Structure 1
């Protein structure tokens, strides 16, 4: 989705990042980590619970004692205040595993002049910030094929170190693995992969009953196709180069193809009761973080929606 033209020198610089930025990730990680922590601190503070009864440490509510329950469940101090027996219920804060997959493939390094970050930077910032929030809430967070689930408060540092020492080819989609039925999976990618690959990924990740969310992170130029004149479109992951004599004449077909691709992804996620949404890098990272964190709180209550969108969606 990168483009190169003699008449758009500003775009040339952005496109070159698709080839070079991934090799300088080590230099940019400290800044991304700081930005992630700043955003996480601004979005939410403190622990979260599931607002349902269960085994936990935080008080939720008193309820009336039901005949047949063990007598040790009675809160005698509260019951002494009137003529009824009461049970003290705790908030269920049992940790479960959340798998996060930030796409670090070469196509994610692209950024046009209208973007706040490259797609890679945005994906990493949100991944780090979300991990920080989840661990603060008592969850375990891992990266498929890269980092085992952990509840460590230094989860961001562990993620960054794992990425820095990762010598494997940077795939667009997560590797095949079998998450637990209670696991949550979040995949942040531009999802320009062919639909058969996306279907295979979804089939594998959902086979055990796990729930998930797919977030398509795109650059503003990939949304609107603002090109005109003679333009060379460079596919940064080995797809070659395509030259357009009058790029503006491609815009209508391009937008229609993007809409069709998204509809196909959404149809697949709807079948599985997964979420699919889009996010444009010209928008706020905090907006996407809040959406993801709030969506996970909803999913813990076994209520999911497939209609919420973040950013602009064709």
Structure 2
């Protein structure tokens, strides 16, 4: 994440991520950006499967390099806990954004990118 000193004062920022592991950094950096008058939007981009966790039976999750991150023979049993943790993470992200006057959006990667861009422009007050 860029240092607040490297972002122009009173500018607009759009941070895109799954934000699965970024909440601590965000809670440190976003307030520093806001102190410089930067307004912004945290845009969480997830797949439909990450949003709904439709898995059952044996499942193996891999990272972008192909190494196994997690596997289970009981994926359906993990669904409720996963969705609860996703909800808690999203509440934390919403809290970070709101405390600084920013907005938080979650979108599915399956959405038309033009629609997502329109949402971001609207949230950043650029229309």
Stretches of structure 1 lacking an aligned partner (at least 5 in a row): 1-173, 301-314
Q: Does 1:188 align with 2:16?
A: yes
Specify which of 95, 106, 116 is matched with residue 267 of structure 1.
95
| TM-score normalised by structure 1 residue count | 0.37
Q: Does 1:225 align with 2:53?
A: yes
**Residue 176 of structure 1: aligned partner:** 3
Specify which of 205, 208, 211 is matched with residue 33 of structure 2.
205
**Residue 249 of structure 1: aligned partner:** 77
For residues 58-81 of structure 1, give each alpha carbon's deviation from its aligned partner in whole angstroms, at most 9, with x where no partner exists.
Answer: xxxxxxxxxxxxxxxxxxxxxxxx
Q: Determine which structure has greater relative contact order: mean sequence separation of CA pairs < 8 Å that are 6+ residues apart, divided by chain length.
A: 2
Stretches of structure 2 lacking an aligned partner (at least 5 in a row): none
Cα RMSD of the aligned pairs, angstroms, is 2.3
Q: Which has the higher strand share?
A: 2
Mapping 1:154-169, distance limit 5 Å: none
**Residue 164 of structure 1: aligned partner:** none
For residues 158-195 of structure 1, give each alpha carbon's deviation from its aligned partner in whole angstroms, at most 9, with x where no partner exists.
Answer: xxxxxxxxxxxxxxxx3223223311111121111242
In the aligned structure 2, how far is the partner of 1:224 from the partner of 1:276?
Answer: 19
Q: Could you say what secondary structure the match of 1:215 adopts?
A: strand
Structure whose CA Rg is larger = 1
How many residue pairs match? The answer is: 126
In the aligned structure 1, how far is the partner of 2:105 from the partner of 2:27?
Answer: 16
* Change over 3 Å in CA distance of 1:212–1:237 after alignment to 2: farther
In the aligned structure 2, how far is the partner of 1:222 from the partner of 1:197?
Answer: 22
In the aligned structure 1, how far is the partner of 2:4 from the partner of 2:99?
Answer: 20
In the aligned structure 1, how far is the partner of 2:19 from the partner of 2:119?
Answer: 19
